């Protein structure tokens, strides 16, 4: 399997989650950029090319689903993984995002294996498309 570096954006308003994701993704040879809300995530995607986005659903300023919609409209091939706990509002937003093209949903608390699996899938698909 190729270990080419992926450019990954992590959008989450919780610092502990962002740092945990950075740790996991750095171990997977990813170049990690952070966003603290949906608006910041949209701006980051417009400024830089990413191979993968992990997007928390419930964030201040702009929620993850609204941010996903903006990103997906401009970059429909960019895989966006929605991440959230299981509140009723989050569940409705999750279903909306998946219906509208989100790559996957990972519930919190997530495991390291959950994140690694998504990274490996995206890396494999990207490498196959490049060959």
pLDDT: is 91 or 18 the higher one?
Answer: 18
The pair of structure tokens assigned to 34 is 């952070």
Domains of the chain, earliest start first: 6-130 (3.40.50.2300)
Q: Burial letters for 36-47: b for 16+ Cβ neighbours within 10 Å, e otherwise?
A: bbbbbbbebbee
Q: So what's the pLDDT on residue 109?
A: 85
Give the model confidence (pLDDT) of 62-75 as tens digits: 999 899 999 999 99
CA angle, corner 124, sides to 112 and 117, nearest 5?
Answer: 15
- Residue 101 gets the label, from left (phi > 0), alpha (psi -120 to 50) or beta, of left
End-to-end CA distance of the chain: 13
């Amino acid at each position: 399997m190729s270990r080419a570096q992926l450019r990954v954006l992590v959008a989450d308003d919780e610092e502990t989650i962002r740092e945990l994701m950075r740790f996991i993704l750095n171990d997977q040879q990813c170049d990690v950029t952070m966003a603290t809300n949906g608006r910041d995530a949209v701006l980051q995607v417009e400024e830089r090319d990413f191979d993968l986005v992990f997007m928390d659903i419930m964030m201040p300023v702009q929620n993850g689903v609204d941010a996903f919609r903006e990103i997906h409209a401009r970059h429909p091939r960019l895989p966006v993984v929605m991440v959230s706990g299981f509140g009723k509002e989050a569940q409705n937003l999750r279903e909306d995002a998946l219906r509208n093209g989100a790559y996957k949903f990972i519930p919190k608390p997530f495991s390291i294996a959950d994140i690694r699996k998504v990274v490996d899938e995206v890396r494999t698909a990207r490498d196959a498309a490049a060959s």
